[in-house]
Structure 1
């Protein structure tokens, strides 16, 4: 089963997350199919701390990918940010 989820990078107490499409059987920081964005929770501004390619998210959802709860919240924030800019 393919999932859209977060993969943790960075150092101790300074996390940085990549938003990836991966097979659910692989470990959290293991092999992934495609990187579709990133999230930096430590960054002061939300504008520079979250970037997601929404076109690729929609593509993978159409292919049957499931989304983790945290990734779902971040995608919703990105959509709201995109709507407020237009």
Structure 2
């Protein structure tokens, strides 16, 4: 039985609202979950005092999320991003672009031969 941590969409048209759920991998997106871990509202809300940047609301039961990750639940990519924001997972590496040969040469140093010892050393 493969268990996944994923998002189940609710709300109305053009106003999504997601539940962060634990469900079996082969069930439908909005089917009855094993457990609801939290909620995610992707529509930015203005702050209460009226000053500052709008924020997206994420509510998560971290103790239960740690439990499900500990027993082997596999998060989906959007769930991984939300769990990494909460500090439960390390963020996935997202390459910005494929490296060109010029930038790849500057990133990976070439090995050179030391004249006195005859050993490859990274410069």
Pairwise same-fold verdict (TM > 0.5): yes
Q: 2:73 aligns with which of 46, 65, 68?
A: 65
Relative contact order (C-alpha < 8 Å, sep 6+): which is higher?
1
Between structure 1 and structure 2, the one with the greater Rg is: 2
In the other structure, the counterpart of 2:6 is 5
Question: How big is the alpha-carbon RMSD for the aligned residues of Structure 1 and Structure 2?
Answer: 1.6
Give the 4+ runs in structure 1 shifted more than 6 A: none
Structure 2 residue ranges without an equivalent (≥5): 46-53, 89-123
Which protein is richer in helix relative to its size? 1
SS at match of 2:87: helix
Q: TM-score, normalised by structure 2?
A: 0.60
Residue in structure 2 matched with residue 41 of structure 1 by the alignment: 42
Looking at structure 1, the residues matched to 57 and 33 of structure 2 have their Cα atoms a distance apart, in angstroms, of: 21
5+ long unaligned stretches in structure 1: 81-86
Q: Secondary structure at the match of 1:26?
A: coil
Output the TM-score relative to the length of structure 1. Answer: 0.84
Per-residue deviation, 1:21: 0.2
Which secondary structure does the structure 1 equivalent of 2:4 belong to?
Answer: strand
